[in-house]
Amino acid sequence: MVFIACVNLPYLHYTSPFTRLQAALQQYREEVTSRQFPSPKHTPYRIPPPEVAILAAALRERGSPEAAKAVEDAAGWELKSEE
The answer as to whether 26 is a domain residue is yes
Tell me what pLDDT residue 81 has. Answer: 44
Does 73 score more than 80 pLDDT? yes
User: Are residues 54 and 34 part of one domain?
Assistant: no
Question: What pTM does this model have?
Answer: 0.46
Summary mean pLDDT of the chain: 80
Residues 38 and 61 in one domain: no
pLDDT tens digits, residue range 20-47? 889 999 999 999 999 888 887 777 778 8
Measured CA distances, 45 to 30, 34, 42, 52, 61 (Å) = 24, 22, 9, 13, 25
Written as one letter, the residue type at 79 is L
Domain extent at residue 54: 46-83
